[in-house]
Amino acid sequence: MTEKRIRIMVAKPGLDGHDRGARILARAFRDAGYEVIYTGVHQTPEQIAAAAIQEDVDLVGLSCLSGAHGYLFPRVVELLREKGAEDITVIGGGIIPDQDFQKLYDAGIKAIFTPGASLESILEWVGANVKPRD
C-alpha cells in the first residue's frame, strides 16, 4: 500500500491581497510532491476552516501581510478546534513582527515564517513536522 500523500492548503485570510509569497509557496509545495489547494485571496477564517475540513488537508499555511495576523491566525485555529479538527497543523507567514510570535504560538500556530525565509527551510519544516492525519 502506498503512503497517503500529504495535502496542504495555502490560504489568504482577511482583506490583504499580497499573494506573491502564498503563490510561490503553493508552487513549491506542488513541485515537492504535495497535493496543494490554494484558496485565493480575501478568505474569512470561517471559509478557510470549512474548506480545510472539507478538503481533508493535513496542513494549513496562512499568509498575511496587512498586520491583521493577530486576529486572523488564532481565529482559524479556534474554528478548527471547534469543529474537532485540531489535528490539522496550522502555520503562518508574512509581515509578522518578532514580538507577536509568542502570542501566535500560544494560540496554536506551530511555525511562523517571515520575509527572507527560504523555500528550503519551509519545506524542511513541513517534511519533519507534518504527517498524514488518520
Partner 1 sequence: MGAYFSDDTINQSKELTRQWEEEVRRSLAQSHDQKSRWSTVSDQEIKRLYTPEDIKDIDFARDIGVPGEFPFLRGNQPTGYRGRYWTFRMFSGMGSAADTNARWHMLLQNGQTGLSTAFDFPTLMGYDTDSPKARGECGKCGVAIDTLDDFLTLVDKIPLDKVTTSMTINPSASVLWAMYCAAADIKGVPLSKIGGTIQNDMLKEFIAQKTFMCPPEPSVRLISDTIEFGTKYVPKWNTISISGYHIREAGSTAVQELAFTLRDGIEYVEDVIRRKKLDVDEFAPRLSFFFNAHIDFFEEICKMRAARRIWAHVMKERFHAKNPRSWWMRFHTQTAGCSLTAQQPYNNVVRTAIEALAGVLGGTQSLHTNSLDEVLALPTEHAVQIALRTQQIIAEETGVANTIDPLGGSYFIESLTNKMEEEAWKYIEQIDNMGGMISAIDKGFPQMEIADAAYRFQQQLESGEKIMVGVNKYVTDEEQPIPILQIDEKVEKEQLERLKAVKRRRDSRAVKRDLEEIRKACKTGENVMPYCIQAVKDMATLQEVCDVYREVFGEYRDPGLF
Q: Which is nearer to partner 1, 10 or 59 (CB)?
A: 10
Which set of grid coordinates corresponds to residue 11?
490560504
Please pick, from the candidates 51, 68, 85, 107, the single residue that binds partner 1 as defined by CB under 8 A: 68
Note whether 23 binds partner 1 by CB under 8 A: yes
Vertex 87, ends 133 and 23: CA angle to 5°?
80
10 Å Cβ neighbour count for 130?
19
Which set of grid coordinates corresponds to residue 68?
491583521
- Give Rg (Cα) of the chain: 14
Closest separation between CB of residue 129 and partner 1, Å?
20
Contacts with partner 1 by CB under 8 A lie at 10, 14-20, 22-24, 26-28, 36, 38-42, 44, 66-68, 70-72, 95, 97-98, 114-116, 118-120
